[in-house]
């Protein structure tokens, strides 16, 4: 199963979702990305959290033709397992054809577009798979890569085991920030016994902190759980309509 991984080093199958090809086509991720509607934007904050589950945007891309080409390039990457290096060829072609002037370096900007869309789509697809198997694999284990690039909070969450329906996952299901490489693995009772795992007594405490972001209307302060980047405090694939009133 794609949710498995080494219980000792914490490296799951396809963990971190670095820009390498998929071993098999992730059907749920393909369908999730395919249904997105293109939305021209000026900044990445024009759409917020769950809005990204239904819309495709590239910050600063304000023409539908430009967005369409980027969307098709990402769709191809998900369906065919395109690498970052291959996507950069599409990126260069699209930029040249549309004469797009973007912020940041070419390598940085192409990586952000590629990795963010790929990781969020893959995570949304993974959640759909989790829902189908949660009666037989009812637990999720948070898995961080545990190297010198791992955020302190994500390192602290590593090994947390909670029921798949625990509300904590609605804000902490990875990725939990830009370039976050964390993921989850599913477990059943037999797995717990086999690896000596124990279900956590409670979810890690959520400390809400203020963070400043820039919007088209100027600076804005938002509340986010400590350890999660602004804009990532939602479960990938969640819709605004799913929020509890």
Residue 2 covered by a domain: no
What pLDDT score does 240 carry?
A: 78
> Which residue in the block uniquely carries the two structure tokens 């990938």?
236
Q: Is residue 155 part of a domain?
A: yes
pLDDT value of residue 239: 87
The answer to whether residue 77 is domain-embedded is yes
- Domain assignment present for residue 75? The answer is yes
Q: Is residue 1 part of a domain?
A: no
Q: Tokens representing 78?
A: 């998900």
This prediction's pTM:
0.86
In a domain? residue 86: yes
**Average pLDDT, 10 consecutive residues per value, the chain (245 residues):** 37 35 69 97 96 97 98 96 95 98 96 96 96 96 97 98 98 97 97 98 98 95 98 94 59
pLDDT of residue 26: 85
8 in a structural domain? no
| Number of structural domains in the chain | 1
Alpha carbons 115 and 220: distance in angstroms, whole number: 26
Position 25 scores a pLDDT of 58
For residue 144, give its domain range: 15-242
What pLDDT is stored for residue 51 in this prediction? 97
Task: Give residue 12's pLDDT.
Answer: 35
Residue 3 lies in a domain: no
């Amino acid at each position: 199963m794609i949710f498995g991984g080494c219980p000792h080093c914490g490296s799951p199958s396809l963990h971190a979702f670095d820009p390498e090809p998929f071993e098999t086509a992730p059907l749920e991720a393909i369908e999730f990305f395919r249904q997105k509607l293109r939305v021209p934007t000026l900044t990445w904050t024009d759409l917020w959290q769950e809005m990204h589950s239904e819309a495709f945007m590239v910050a600063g891309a304000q023409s539908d033709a430009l967005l369409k080409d980027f969307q098709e390039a990402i769709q191809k990457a998900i369906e065919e397992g395109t690498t970052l290096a291959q996507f950069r060829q599409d990126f260069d072609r699209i930029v040249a054809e549309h004469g797009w002037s973007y912020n940041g370096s070419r390598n940085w900007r192409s990586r952000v577009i590629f990795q963010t869309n790929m990781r969020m789509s893959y995570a949304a697809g993974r959640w759909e798979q989790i829902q189908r198997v949660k009666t037989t694999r009812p637990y999720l284990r948070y898995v961080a890569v545990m190297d010198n690039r791992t955020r302190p909070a994500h390192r602290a969450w590593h090994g947390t085991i909670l029921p798949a329906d625990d509300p904590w996952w609605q804000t902490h299901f990875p990725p939990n920030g830009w370039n976050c490489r964390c993921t989850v693995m599913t477990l059943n009772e037999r797995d717990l016994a086999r690896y000596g795992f124990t279900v956590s007594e409670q979810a890690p405490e959520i400390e809400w902190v203020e963070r400043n972001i820039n919007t088209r209307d100027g600076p804005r302060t938002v509340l986010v759980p400590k350890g999660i980047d602004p804009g990532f405090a939602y479960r990938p694939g969640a819709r605004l309509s799913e929020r509890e009133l």
